[in-house]
Amino acid sequence: MSSIGSIDTELTPEVKANRQAQYPVSPLFLNRWSPRSFKNDKISEQHLNAILEAAHWAPSSFNDQPWRFIVADTDEQLNVFHQILNDFNRSWADKAPVLVLVASDKLRANGDPNGAHAFDAGTAWGYIALQASLLGIASHAIGGFDRDKARTLLNIPDQYELHAMVALGYQDDRSKLPEGMREREEPNTRVDLDKVVFRGKL
């Protein structure tokens, strides 16, 4: 595998058993899913920077690039981030070697409101997930965290909206999870395309 990853040409066995696209798409999109079982093996600085670099090339309104990524990858930093997670998410995410808080600037450079900031930050998160997958690194976005505590502990002004905490790491076996989570540790499915796509009007 190269330093930036390579596109898979086949579905992984666990994905093949659980997912089937209605139309042909790159296996990259199906092979990416959100496990909770992580090894605590470190992610190299090169790979972490490649993931963040990919996210920074996401499209944005007027090229404002409103996304902000607050990264925790040292024991000291991770201990702070763990305090922000709710108990359920901390029970599995505390093994991930990297946590990234995704935020976005609600204002444009001239001070005007940026109505696209959340949409653009969501796109950047998608790029994180796909580049991580190319590198054999799992990702899982977490919405269950204390935003007020995050603002206090991480010194985040009100100008920034906090969207998600992203766990990054190498996937471990489902047996390492708390018992109640093991049965859910598999790629999920999607509703039929015609449930979410509408031609001309809703």
Could you report the per-residue pLDDT of 163-200, keeping only the tens digit for each? 999 999 999 999 999 989 999 999 999 999 999 999 99
Rounded average pLDDT over 118-143:
98
The first and second tokens of residue 144, run together, are 């269950």
> Does the pLDDT value for residue 87 go beyond 60?
yes
SS (H, E, C) the chain: CCCCCCCCCCCCHHHHCCCCCCCCCCHHHHHCCCCCCECCCCCCHHHHHHHHHHHHCCCCHHHCCCEEEEEECCHHHHHHHHHHECHHHHHHHCCCCEEEEEEEECECCCCCECCCHHHHHHHHHHHHHHHHHHCCCEEEEECCECHHHHHHHHCCCCCEEEEEEEEEECECCHHHCCHHHHHHCCCCCCCCHHHCCCCCCC
In this prediction, residue 8 carries a pLDDT of 63
User: Which neighbouring-strand residues pair with 65?
Assistant: none
> Does the pLDDT value for residue 5 go beyond 80?
no
In this prediction, residue 3 carries a pLDDT of 53
How far is the C-alpha of 18 from the C-alpha of 70, rounded, in Å?
Answer: 33
Band of pLDDT at residue 1, cut at 50, 70 and 90: very low
How many Cα atoms sit within 13 Å of 8 on the Cβ side?
Answer: 20
**CATH superfamily for domain 37-174:** NADH Oxidase (3.40.109.10)
Q: Which of 167, 129, 175, 171 has the alpha carbon at shortest distance from 12?
A: 171
Model's pTM, two decimal places? Answer: 0.93
In this prediction, residue 2 carries a pLDDT of 47
Band of pLDDT at residue 106, cut at 50, 70 and 90: very high
